[in-house]
Amino acid sequence: MKFLKIPIDKPLTHVSSGHFVSPINWSHSKRNIDSFVLIVGLQGTAYIQQDKEKYEVKPGNVLILLPYTTHFGYEISKESVSYYWCHFYCKNSSIVDESTFTKELFVPKIEASIHNDCNYVMVPIYSSYTNTDRINILFNQLLHVAYSDYYTSYGASYLLTLIMMELTQQTISDHIQKLKDDETNGKFIKMLEWIRINIENNISVCDIAREFNYNPDYLSRMFKQKIGISLIKYINSLKITKAKKMLLCSDNSIKEIAYKLGFTDEKYFMKLFKKMENITPTQYRNAFFYTHMNNH
């Protein structure tokens, strides 16, 4: 699955939006434009191809069409089709894969350690959502603001950005719910919790396999299948997240932090931190040493 990742320190730029209702026997026209297009299915099925990928946009489906990418209807919709649409621009966007989503948003969320100040959205290029009520309400608000002679054009842009935030949140929530709905995942959820509370120990795949009565090779395959990243990478990502907090909230040396997190070799810890964060532990600490204290 591919995701569109967009920074939201500034709002996305709303260009135009609307509620499309097609006649019977309709097909999407062929286009190649310079803006993104967000489509939220409401009724019927729209058959839209983007380059070589074919999508069926039904109620509950959301599709993002990319700029400078040819898209068109590859099949005629024999029933009436209805969907919300929005053209928009954004700077510094990127296309990422599911492993990036898992590492940056999904894994921290299931570990209850996601940062509330996350400054980007990450929305699937194509996805199906179990509950689109909030998305539809927000889209109605967007259309009202966009076409009601609102005092500032930023109103529509901020509402569009909020829709993308809602899509990101629902993507995370749906992934978590899929884990919880599968009865076989009860043990897996307990495993994630066990890893969390033991993250400061030098735990290995064999330790986890022994604790939960799994074959180590089978456990590694199962973990990669369910989460999308390897068990070792998952453990290291939790350790580095904890290390970042310790670097900012304690006076412990780099060596002490490495040992507290179960690393027997501080040089390996520093190398791993640099690989995952593109900055050394010392540089990270020095970059965020300013603080504000008050007692009332």
At 40-73, the pLDDT tens digits run 999 999 999 998 999 999 999 999 999 999 999 9
The pLDDT value recorded for residue 163 is 96
With contact defined as beta carbons under 8 Å apart, do 46 and 84 qualify? no
Task: Calculate mean pLDDT across residues 85-90.
Answer: 96
Q: How many CA atoms lie within 13 A of 147 on its CB side?
A: 10
The pLDDT value recorded for residue 161 is 96
The pLDDT value recorded for residue 287 is 74
Q: Is residue 271 very low, low, confident or very high in pLDDT (cuts 50, 70, 90)?
A: very high
Dihedral (CA of 118, 122, 123, 129) sign: negative
Say how far apart CA 269 and CA 252 lie, in whole Å: 14
Of 179 and 116, the one with more pLDDT = 179
The pLDDT value recorded for residue 179 is 65
> If we measure between CA atoms, which residue out of 104, 162, 112, 153 comes closest to residue 134?
162
| 47-56, 76-85, 110-119: least confident range | 110-119
The pLDDT value recorded for residue 27 is 94
Say how far apart CA 122 and CA 95 lie, in whole Å: 9
The pLDDT value recorded for residue 108 is 56
Say how far apart CA 64 and CA 51 lie, in whole Å: 13
The pLDDT value recorded for residue 241 is 82
The pLDDT value recorded for residue 109 is 55
Strand order in the sheet with 71-73: 53-57, 46-50, 71-73
With a cut of 50, say whether residue 114 has pLDDT above it.
Answer: no
The pLDDT value recorded for residue 294 is 45
Say how far apart CA 100 and CA 145 lie, in whole Å: 34
**DSSP assignment, residue 77?**
B
Say how far apart CA 262 and CA 40 lie, in whole Å: 47
With contact defined as beta carbons under 8 Å apart, do 94 and 100 qualify? no
| 115-119, 149-153, 202-206: least confident range | 115-119
Say how far apart CA 58 and CA 61 lie, in whole Å: 5
With contact defined as beta carbons under 8 Å apart, do 40 and 132 qualify? yes
With a cut of 50, say whether residue 167 has pLDDT above it.
Answer: yes
The pLDDT value recorded for residue 113 is 46
Q: What is the pTM of this model?
A: 0.65
Say how far apart CA 156 and CA 150 lie, in whole Å: 9
The pLDDT value recorded for residue 110 is 52
The pLDDT value recorded for residue 200 is 82
* Mean pLDDT (the chain, rounded): 86
Calculate what percentage of the chain has a pLDDT beyond 90. 47
Largest interatomic CA distance in the chain: 69
